[in-house]
Amino acid sequence: MSDATRVLVLNSGSSSVKYQLIDMADGSRPASGLVERIGESQGRIKHEPAHHAPRERYEAFPDHAAALGAVADELAADGLGLDSDRLAAIGHRAVHGGTRFTEPTLLTDEVVEALRELIPLAPLHNPANITGIEVARKLRPDLPQVAVFDTAFHATMPESAARYAIDRATADAYQVRRYGFHGTSHQYVSRRTAQLLGRSPEAVNVIVLHLGNGASASAVAGGRCVDTSMGLTPLEGLVMGTRSGDLDPAILLHLHRVGGMSVDEIDTLLNRRSGLLGLCGDNDMREIGRRTGEGDAEAKLAFDVYIHRLRKYVGAYYAVLGRVDAIVFTAGVGENSAEVREAAVTGLEALGIELDPVRNAVRGSAPRLISADSSRVAVAVVPTDEELEIAQQTFAVVRRTAG
């Protein structure tokens, strides 16, 4: 077996790059870090090697090339440089694969060109992704690099779940359909939940609730996604930190016609000034919990709207799946907020869902069950690990192409 067992996972956002080096031989993580405020007058790089003290520097990173150059330098300083012969591949998180990319894909010039054609589907995310990919390919042109798409896991959704009920020709002309996001998280967490239950993924039906700043739910039947709450863009579905989630689509028309708002203003309103933030001025669930505890009515309403939507999706996906083996909470809110978990599933005993309040209150970083032993449906907390999932999928592609 070759010594090249490490995968560098890169997540290039519009103003940040997150990275993690993962060794597939033993699951160790020799280094991870983050560059932020790319393009601003002062940026920051935080580098955390496993065997040395973390390092932090403030300086300007004018573009992604400068940011990735700094990442390469930090890694090299720990003997983990991009030229290391232990590096097997770079795995890139890619937000939108459209209908064309439904599998992790080895990057070639042609694939990068096809990604460029998908920019209109995710104008906020895809350009930064592509820049990150291009810079990394320049740094190591000979190294296999793989794109792992946030949409891919949802490609198994049946047409009945993926289609919007609008004129078919119009939908097809503009690629308007439900793609879903957070796919690597839903995939990882649903599989890990099956493991926690001691069953194979093919044997279980799971509702995954990924509750972070962005939030989405999915219905996973036997390891395959059959429905998810995000749609053409990550705006649909659950109430999020700053995004509205589901709306009457005519609200947009109303805001434009009656409120005189422009398309860009409505975009900003729904993506950045809505959700929990719009309802109460805070998008952090910790702060909302604190305010609610002090009797703040606005914070309480924001929490209640968030929970109401979440419970609607639990019920909807219960019906979509017919039989549910587990409901699993993940991401920042799902992993940490016992209050949200309790509120999301309380009173659903008739559906076979019984939470154990003591187990729910215990904090921890390991996957764990929080349902009562008598609960027909297991309720679980499974910390997500999108980087590991990307590394595994990347490594599998490299192995396949090498073999």
Taking CB under 6 A as the binding criterion, the range among 53-61, 72-80, 87-95, 206-214 that sits at the site for ligand ADP is 206-214
Pairing, β 205-211 against β 326-330: parallel
Closest CB to ligand ADP among 69 and 289? 289
Query: What is the smallest separation between the CB atom of 81 and ligand ADP, expressed in angstroms?
Result: 28
237 scored as a contact of ligand ADP (CB under 6 A): no
Task: Tell how far CA 191 is from the center of its chain.
Answer: 15
Taking CB under 6 A as the binding criterion, the range among 17-25, 117-125, 210-218, 313-321 that sits at the site for ligand ADP is 210-218
Closest CB to ligand ADP among 340 and 391? 340
Coil, helix or strand at residue 209: strand
What residues numbered 337-376 form the site for ligand ADP, per CB under 6 A?
Answer: 337
CA distance 114 to 359: 48
- Tell which one of 91, 245, 278, 332 touches ligand ADP (CB under 6 A): 332
Query: What is the smallest separation between the CB atom of 284 and ligand ADP, expressed in angstroms?
Result: 4
Residue pair 373/359 in contact by the 8 Å Cβ criterion: no
Type of residue found at 151: T
First-to-last alpha carbon distance for the chain, in angstroms, is: 11
What residues numbered 274-293 form the site for ligand ADP, per CB under 6 A?
Answer: 284-286
Query: What is the smallest separation between the CB atom of 220 and ligand ADP, expressed in angstroms?
Result: 19
Q: Which residues pair with 43 in a beta bridge?
A: 59
What residues numbered 14-33 form the site for ligand ADP, per CB under 6 A?
Answer: none
CA–CA–CA angle 145, 150, 156 (5° rounding): 110
What is the DSSP code (8-state) at residue 52?
S
331 scored as a contact of ligand ADP (CB under 6 A): yes
242 scored as a contact of ligand ADP (CB under 6 A): no
Taking CB under 6 A as the binding criterion, the range among 92-100, 105-113, 208-216, 314-322 that sits at the site for ligand ADP is 208-216
- Tell which one of 15, 213, 268, 271 touches ligand ADP (CB under 6 A): 213
Cβ neighbours of residue 281 under 8 Å, at least 6 residues apart? 298
Known catalytic residues are: 150
Query: What is the smallest separation between the CB atom of 384 and ligand ADP, expressed in angstroms?
Result: 7
Neighbours of 84 (CB within 10 A): 16
Burial of 10 (C-beta count, 10 Å sphere; 0-12/13-18/19+): buried
CA distance 197 to 326: 9
Closest CB to ligand ADP among 227 and 385? 385
231 scored as a contact of ligand ADP (CB under 6 A): no
Query: What is the smallest separation between the CB atom of 265 and ligand ADP, expressed in angstroms?
Result: 24
Query: What is the smallest separation between the CB atom of 92 and ligand ADP, expressed in angstroms?
Result: 17
Task: Tell how far CA 402 is from the center of its chain.
Answer: 29
Count of residues engaged in binding ligand ADP, rule: CB under 6 A? 12
Residue pair 18/11 in contact by the 8 Å Cβ criterion: yes
Strand 145-149's sheet: what is its strand order?
Answer: 55-59, 43-49, 31-36, 17-23, 6-12, 87-94, 145-149, 105-106
| Closest residue to ligand ADP using C-beta atoms | 332
Closest CB to ligand ADP among 51 and 363? 363
Residue pair 314/344 in contact by the 8 Å Cβ criterion: yes
Residue pair 46/96 in contact by the 8 Å Cβ criterion: no
What is the DSSP code (8-state) at residue 222?
T
Query: What is the smallest separation between the CB atom of 275 and ligand ADP, expressed in angstroms?
Result: 11
Torsion of CA 163, 165, 170, 172, to 10 degrees: 10
Residue pair 228/217 in contact by the 8 Å Cβ criterion: yes
Closest CB to ligand ADP among 30 and 214? 214
CA distance 108 to 111: 5
- Tell which one of 212, 223, 237, 245 touches ligand ADP (CB under 6 A): 212
Q: Using CA of residue 245, residue 248, residue 250, residue 255, what is the dihedral sign? A: negative
Binding mask 134-173 for ligand ADP (x = CB under 6 A): ----------------------------------------
121 scored as a contact of ligand ADP (CB under 6 A): no
Query: What is the smallest separation between the CB atom of 339 and ligand ADP, expressed in angstroms?
Result: 8
241 scored as a contact of ligand ADP (CB under 6 A): yes
214 scored as a contact of ligand ADP (CB under 6 A): yes
333 scored as a contact of ligand ADP (CB under 6 A): yes
Binding site for ligand ADP (CB under 6 A): 212-214, 241, 284-286, 331-333, 336-337
